[in-house]
Structure formats: C-alpha cells, structure tokens
Chain A
Amino acid sequence: MNKIKALYVNEMIKIFHRPAVIIVAAVALCISFLFPILLMIVEGPYDFYNEETNEREKIESSLKDYEKDLINAGFKTTKQDVTIEVDGQKKTIPMTLYIGNDIPNLLSNKIVYEDLLANYDFAKYPTRKTWLAHIALVRYNNFELKRINLEMTPFEERDAEWLKEYDRFTAARDVARKALFEHDYKYYIEAVKYLEQGDYGSDYTPEMIKRLADTDPNGELGVEDGYYILYYLSQLQETQSKLDAGLDAAGNLPRILTEEKKEILRNTIKILNYEIDNHNIYDEKSTVALTLVYLTGKISGYALLVLLILIAGSSVSQEMATGSIKSLIIAPVKRWKIFTAKLLSIVTCMVVASVVLTLCSIIGTGFACGFDKLPPYLYVSGGAVKAVPLFLGKIIFDLVNNIPTFFYAFVGFMISCYTKNTGVSVGTAIGLSLFHEVPSMLQSSDLPQRILDFTPLAGMDIASKLFPYYSLMVADEDFDMFSLSNSSFDNSLMFCTVYIIVICFTVLFIAFEQFSKKDIQ
C-alpha cells in the first residue's frame, strides 16, 4: 500500500504540473464560476415582467402604434342592421363589419388598451407584476380578439350559429374583463369555462386555476411565480393521469407502469403538491437561479469532459512519449501498482473536478442571483417530503450524472495505454463521446424504437433513476447529453449499474493488459 500511496502522490504532483491540464482546468473553473455572473451582467436582471417602466406610458405608446398600423392596414367600419332567424323568430340587430388586412389583433389590442387607459387602476394591480392581472388581461384580449374575428364575417353570412358564437365570446370577454378589473380568480375561472377543451392550452384548465386560486387567495402572486406554479400544476395533472391509467409514455410506445414507477409517481405528486402549497420556495429568482445552475452545469460539463479525457488520455502516453516512464519502471514497484496509482489519480481528478465545478457553478449563481435564492433539492423519505441544500444535492447528482464522462475518460486512458499516443487517445475519446450524442438525435427522429433500444448506453441513465425528482426543479430538464432515458427498455437501476460497471471494467482491463504485460521500448 505504501508504494501505491507514494506512486499516487507522484501522479497527483505530475497532473497538477501539466500545463495543458492547468489551462483546461482554469477554463472550466472560469466557465463554472463566471458564466452565471456574466450572463446576468449581459442579459440584465431577469425581470421582464417586473420591470419598473410606467405601465400606463407603455400602453399609451403602444396604442399610438396600433392606431397608425390600423390606418396602414386600411381599417374601415361599416354598420348595418342584420336580420337573423333564431328559433323560428326573425331578429333585426344593428351590427358592425370590420374591413382591413390583418386587423383583428391590432383592433383587439387597441380596444382593450383604450379600456385599460380609461378605467384600469394600474397602481393597484399592475398587469406586468401580478399573475392574476396578467392572465386576466391576456384572456380579456383573447376573447376580444375572437369576438372581432367574428365581426370580420360579411353581413350576409351571419346566421343563428354566428350569433350564438358572438354572444358567447362577448359574455366571455365581459367576465374576463371583470376578473381583471375586480381582480378576482372567481371570474377568471368562469371565463376559462367559456373555452373549448382544446383551447385551454397546457396550463389553464378551470381545475388548475381553482387550485392556484387556493394558494393565492388575494391575487398577490407574481407573474413568474404564477407561471411556474401552473407549470407544476400541469405536471401534477400529467403525473396523476399517468398514475390513473397505469401507463407511461416511452418514446412512441406506451409502457405499463411497474410498482416501482408508480411509487415514484406517487412521490412526485407529493413533491409537486409541496411545491405548489409552498410556492414561496420557487419564486421567480429561484427559478432563474436553478436555470443558471443547470445551464452552467451543461456548459462546464463539456469542459469537464475535455479536462478528464486530457488527464486520463495523457496519463500513460505522455510518459511514454517523453521517456519519463523510465524512472517509474526502474523504481522497485510492480507495474500493476503503477497502473493502480494512475487509475486512482484519474478517479480522484474525476471526483474533485466534478465536485469543484458544481460548487463553482452554485457559488457563481449565488453571486449572480443571491444565495438565498438557491432552492433545496426535494425528495421523499418515509412518506414525507424532505429537502437537502442545493449544493449537496447537485454535487451528488452531478457525480452520478457525469458517469458517462468518466467512462469516456477511461476510454481515453485505455487508448493511451494501447497507442501510447496522447493526440490519438484524447482525440478519439472526445470524438467518441461526441458521437454518443448521435443516438440522442436519432431518438428524436422517426427511427423505430426497437433500433434505439439497442444503441449503446441507451436507457442507462442512472442519474434519472437515482434522482427521479430532479427534473421537477428545472422546467424542460432533459438530464444530460448522454441521457436516453426515454428508451422503452427502461432498465432497472441494478441493470444500469451492472452494465456500466461491466463496460468500465472491460475498458480498464484492456488498459491494464496493455500497460502491465507489454514491453516498454
């Protein structure tokens, strides 16, 4: 053990004195630490909905633009009394016909904005700051647009059916306006009920709004907070429907849920409910912070890949090329010990680099967004939702998530032992790791699922299995570039672990054979 320890110490000294390693490590650290800060500097505070601009002035300015655009669009109004037969009785109604090119949007905005300027109290419920005011305004405008669309219909084509639709959207517009002006979810839910099922979009079913209203009785929720709570509500709905059906989507194929999967879904629902009920933990800045941590992790992941492949891929070949391997061979240590020490030093670098880069990205994000805005990682234990600090959860998550990166570093190490050429080993390992993205790209194509199931490392996403609730933290999280978690194979955690151990062992065994049993010229 003493010999291995001495060799290990030597290896670490050598690694930290290698200029290429120092440069790449410095770049990776800079990316991890500075990227979130620079992004915040370049992009400015992520406050589109919270900007302090005078809302009234902004609307007045927009209104002038709309009026000009309407004139340019040849907007004209014609009024006429139209007779329509309804339930066997003829009714004559004074009606308006709008004429012009592409005018409905301009006109609905103009009408709604004129109404706001005349009647709305921007100081009390700013539509760019309050979620309820924001969605009520959108809905008001939307119904007004639908109403105007109907008023583009020529007089002679207007019939009873038209009149029914016109009355429906007029009523819907009025109730949406009431929701905005009286700032009450009750009217908003009523307005949403006027929508057809297909018009809800993904987030706005009456049930979801009702749940949102329960968590925000006074309508004080911020715009982004509201958006994300609705996102969680949609996740909740989707999860519940999967659980109810006992089926999950796997690529293009339905998959029957295992008991293990059902448990994950049940826990997911608990976490989502926790997030919705305690929406203060995921306020707007927390979401931005999480997105930055995630984005930084993605980018520094590539730097980590290059760094580790450089360390592992040059470990043997560089010594062969410079001849410094001679002082190791002449020393009284068996080759397997040299190999072990090199491997241990590489593994140490993997763990240290992954942890340090994760910490840097979190610290950088903390500086950019505020450390109090870094939300915890949530999980379920003993039936209760529990939280660990983000840095701890993310460090462990990244260590697991970086397993494919570690694997390709081992591949670089193997090629290094085999070819004794640093350029070839580093280049090939990086090339292979990038090639790995091809199956991911293919997966989004229309290739048969069965082919994708047999792509290497498909369905071997251990991170998503060990951290099934991580994706709930970041909207649209797709784990990592190597992830093929949608494979219909859906291999168990045990299978994935064994698979990855076997391929890593195979690669390292080939490296060992090359290093320990071949002549060194």
Chain B
Amino acid sequence: MAEEKQTALSIKNVTKIYGKKKAADHVTFDIYPGEIFGFLGPNGAGKTTVIKSILGFIFPDEGDVFINGYNVKTDYEKAMASVGGIVENPEMYTNLSARKNIEMYARLHGNIPKSRIDEVLSDVGLAARAKDPVRKYSLGMKQRIGLAQAMVHKPKLLILDEPTNGLDPTGIHQLRDVLKKYAHEDGAAVMVSSHILSEMQLLCDRVGIINNGKLMSVCPMDELTSQMNSASSYSIRVSDTELAEKILQDSGKANKPETNDDVITAEINKEDIASIVRLLVTGGVDISEVRKNESSLEEIFLQVTGGGIDIE
C-alpha cells in the first residue's frame, strides 16, 4: 500500500562505494508527506552518505533518488526545488549577515518575497540580530539560521542532519515544535538524523536504522515503543540477591539477570512479572521494591544492529 501513496522522498537501491568499503549498500526507503522520519545509525554507518546522495553532493554508484517524484539524476533542478536541508553543520558566508545569507539562498529559488524572509527569521527567533554578520553567531544561532534558510522556500521535503547540535534545551524544544508543525500541520516531509535518541522518540513518526551502509530496519515509532515495552528491564530490590538470582534463572522467565548491591536487574516480559514476584516470595526472598527501568530507543537500536557498537 505504501508504494501507492505519493512519496516526498523515495530512495531505491542507493549504493556508494569508497575504495573497498560500501558506505551505502542498496539502501531503499520512502518518506511521505506529513511525517517526520528519523534516520539513525552509529558513526560511519552511512547516514551522511545517504543524505549527501539525496542532496546531490555525491553521485551514487547505483540506485536512484526521487524527490517529489522527480529523479535527482535526470530532473535535478525540479527535484531540488522542493528540498531544504542542513548537512552536518549549517555553514554560511560568515562575512555576510544572516539576512544576506538567506536572501542569497532565496534568490536561487526564484520569487520568494522579502516578507517570507522576515517570517522565517522571526520563526527561528533571530529577527533582531538578522543584520549581524554570521561570524558573530554562536553554533546554536547558526543552527537556527540554517533552519531558516532551509525552510525559506517552504520545501516539501526538509532534511536535517543533527539539527539539535549546539541548541540549548529551550532551543531544542522550539525546534521540535517548529518541525512538528511543519510536518503535521503544513504537510511537509521531514527527515532528521540525530544522535540524541530521546529527541527521536519525542519527534519522529517513523525511524530508519542504518549500520555498515545497510538499512537494518524501517518502522513506525509506535511499533518500536511497543517493542520496547514488551521486553523491558526491571529492577527488583531483594533481601538475598544470590537466592533471587538462582530462582530467576530456574524460572526461565528472566534474561540476563545482573546483581548490584541488593538490586537484581533482568529483562522480563510484562506478563511474567506477577509470577516472578510470587516465585521469589515463595522461595523465601523478601521484596522491598519492583521498578520498571525506562527503556530507550538506544536499546532497541542495539537490538536491531546486533549490539556491541558505540552509539554516537
């Protein structure tokens, strides 16, 4: 069914090889209007390679990228007309003012009224300092200007690489609101790559997970959250940890039990918690606390990518 929906971005079998290394290996996924798509992966996984392939920085060895139905290879200008983005850090002409930077970018998109430039500068909270040269800006301010520039022509697809870098908590909150409004109310598609996984949980509708150039999984955030909830980590404060660990192992219902002082932690299915507690009490172990540990997307990511890798 997904194929029949109009896509804002469609990546088909994109492959990029550097020497002997496949930085992107037949990566295929779609992004639809009105959704925020999170793109996750550790260092060197291929996130930036894919983003650069989408935005025309690099030429894929294989595969195609369609933006708004236009192939980037054959209809470059039409495809890029509906994209806005920030790759890695937002780099500006530092001797020019923020306004001049945005004006220059807007000029390349044709008829963008000055009022729209005022509007985006106001949206990102930099209207008052728009005439200052960018070299005087902090990283957070540059991120905001980068976002303003990326959105000035109201692109149907917004691609942001690590957009929360340098933003303070308020800025992150504002960014989240802006992006959610842009996707959910204005109907644009937003693709975000970030190493702040909690942000992804709060922001994204779907996520794609990439490792070693291969797309490991693409699924809705809800599905990931329920997966998190179905096999969660619990901590149980007990009177006798050795006995409790033995009972848990014998039960076959707890995975990877670990002991720390008087607390034993293990992965336990939600529906098995009651019987586990009963077994411990029956076995002579006093329980003073049972607490569910908050799982994160990081854990899910580790599960999907096989674990044992450093998360950015």
Compute how far the CA of A125 lies from the CA of B78 in the bound complex, rounded to whole angstroms.
Answer: 85
Residues of A within 8 Å of B110, CB to CB, are: 2
Bound-state Cα–Cα, A69 to B78, Å: 92
Give A18 to B96 CA distance when docked, in angstroms: 9
Taking a contact as CB atoms closer than 8 A, the residue among B76, B81, B92 that contacts A327 in the complex is: B92
A164 within 8 A of B: no
Please provide the chain B residues from 223 to 244 with a CB less than 8 Å away from any CB of chain A in the complex.
none
Tell me the A1-23 residues at the B interface (CB within 8 Å): 2-3, 6-7, 9-10, 13-14, 17-19
Q: Does A333 belong to the interface (CB within 8 Å)? A: yes
B84, CB-defined interface residue at 8 Å: yes
A331 CB within 8 Å of chain B = yes
Given the interface contacts A13-B104, A519-B59, does A332 sit within 8 Å of B95 by beta carbon? Answer: no
Indicate whether B40 reaches chain A with its CB closer than 8 angstroms.
no
Decide yes or no whether A323 CB sits under 8 A from chain B.
yes
Please state if B109 and A322 are interface contacts (CB–CB under 8 Å).
no
Interface residues of A in 383-417 (CB under 8 A from B): none
Contact of B108 with A10 in the complex, beta carbons under 8 Å: yes
Contacts of A333 in B (CB 8 A): 77, 80, 108
How long is the Cα–Cα vector from A331 to B78 in the complex, in angstroms? Answer: 10
Partner of A329, one of B56, B77, B95: B56
Q: Which residues of A contact B85 (CB under 8 A)?
A: 330
Q: How far is the CA of A14 from the CA of B89 in the complex (A)?
A: 20
Range class of the B interface residue count: 20 to 34
Give A337 Cβ to nearest chain B Cβ, in Å: 9
Please indicate the chain A residues that have their CB under 8 angstroms from the CB of B87 in the complex.
Answer: 326, 330
**Does the CB pair A7–B55 fall under 8 Å?**
no
Contacting residues, chain A, for B92 (C-beta < 8 A): 324, 327
A91 near B: Cβ within 8 Å? no
Partner of B100, one of A13, A19, A520: A13
For residue A3, which residue of chain B has the nearest CB?
B108
Q: Is B93 within 8 A of A324, CB to CB?
A: yes
- A444: CB under 8 A from chain B? no
Give the size range of A's interface with the partner: 20 to 34
Binary per-residue interface labels of chain B (31-54) against chain A in the complex, 1 for a CB within 8 Å, 0 otherwise? 000000000000000000000100
Contact across chains for A7 and B108 when beta carbons are under 8 A apart: yes
Is the CB of A521 closer than 8 A to any CB of chain B? yes
Interface pair A6/B55, CB less than 8 Å apart: no
The chain A residue sitting closest to B110, CB to CB, is A2
Task: Check if A64 is an interface residue, CB within 8 A of chain B.
Answer: no
Q: Is B222 an interface residue (CB 8 A)?
A: no
Minimum C-beta distance from A79 to chain B (A): 88
Encode contact with A along B75-106: 1 for CB under 8 Å, 0 otherwise.
01111110111011101111110001100110
Q: Which residues in window 405-451 of A have CB below 8 A to B?
A: none
| Given A14-B93, A326-B87, A327-B92: A332 in contact with B57 (beta carbons within 8 A) | no
Q: Check if A334 is an interface residue, CB within 8 A of chain B.
A: yes
**CB atoms of A17 and B78 under 8 A apart:** no
Quote the shortest CB–CB distance from B242 to chain A (angstroms). 56
User: In the complex, how many angstroms separate the beta carbon of A345 from the nearest chain B beta carbon?
Assistant: 13
Which residue of the partner chain B has the closest CB to A6? B107
**B105 touching A331, Cβ below 8 Å:** yes
Query: CB distance A330 to B91 under 8 Å?
Result: no
A330, B77: Cβ atoms closer than 8 Å: no
Q: Across the two chains, which residue of chain A brings its CB closest to B85?
A: A330
Determine if B93 and A330 form an interchain contact, defined as CB atoms under 8 angstroms apart.
Answer: no
With both beta carbons as reference points, the residue of chain B lying nearest to A325 in the complex is identified as B91
- If A326-B87, A519-B58, A521-B58 touch, whether A332 touches B93 (CB-CB below 8 Å) is no
In the complex, what's the smallest C-beta–C-beta distance from B217 to chain A, in angstroms? Answer: 27
Bound CA–CA A332/B83 (angstroms) = 8
| Contact between chains at B91 and A19 (CB < 8 Å) | no
In the complex, A327→B58 CA distance in Å?
A: 14
Say how far A199's CB is from chain B's closest CB, in angstroms: 67
Across the two chains, which residue of chain B brings its CB closest to A17? B95
Q: Provide the B55-69 mask, 1 if CB < 8 A to any CB of A, else 0.
A: 111110000000000
Chain A residues, Cβ within 8 Å of B164: none
- CB 8 Å contact bits of A308-352 with B (1 = contact, 0 = none): 000000000000001111111111111000000000000000000
B91 near A332: Cβ-Cβ < 8 Å: no
Partner of B56 from the list A13, A14, A330 (CB cut-off 8 Å) is A330
A-B pairs, top 5 by smallest CB distance, nearest first, are A323-B91, A519-B58, A332-B80, A331-B108, A332-B81
CB pairs A–B below 8 angstroms (11 shown): A6-B108, A13-B100, A322-B91, A330-B55, A330-B80, A330-B150, A331-B105, A332-B108, A332-B109, A333-B108, A520-B52
